[in-house]
Amino acid sequence: MTPQQLRAFCLDFNASAEEFPFGPETSVFKVLGKMFALTALDARPLTVNLKCDPDEAVRLREKYDGVVPGWHMSKRHWNTVTVSGVPDRLLRELIEDSYDLVVAGLPKADRLRLDRP
């Protein structure tokens, strides 16, 4: 996945937005103001921080060298994923799972509005 594809994929989710609270080099993708992905799209290698179920996070770290505890994030709930270090299909699933975990923490009315009860 290229940086442009990563950005487009993150912005394709309902109510997602790209913000730059940490400076112009760091893209933060949010749903209704809550972060679900963080990346420096110009970085090499390209990495992205994604929210993850704690048990799944440990499993992924054991299976893939490209998945490590979240850099500057809660190590229990966030992974840093090297884009080239995991299969493209898995990366897409991890981004969607991160989005879904964040949405699950939103008020019910917001979840229903996003069509993700």
User: What local confidence, expressed as pLDDT, does residue 105 receive?
Assistant: 93
Report the alpha-carbon distance of residue 53 to residue 85 in Å, rounded: 20
pLDDT tier, 117 (very low <50, low <70, confident <90, very high otherwise): low
pLDDT tier, 85 (very low <50, low <70, confident <90, very high otherwise): very high
Mean pLDDT value across the chain = 94
**Over 70: is that where the pLDDT of 19 sits?**
yes
User: What local confidence, expressed as pLDDT, does residue 112 receive?
Assistant: 87
Residues 49-69: pLDDT tens digits? 999 999 999 999 999 999 999
Question: How far is residue 49 from each of residues 23, 26, 42, 111, measured CA to CA in Å?
Answer: 16, 11, 14, 22
Residue type, 94: L
Q: Pull the structure tokens for residue 107.
A: 């008020």
Give buried/exposed letters for 85-109 (b at 16+ CB in 10 A, else e). bbeeebbeebbbbbbbbbbeebeee
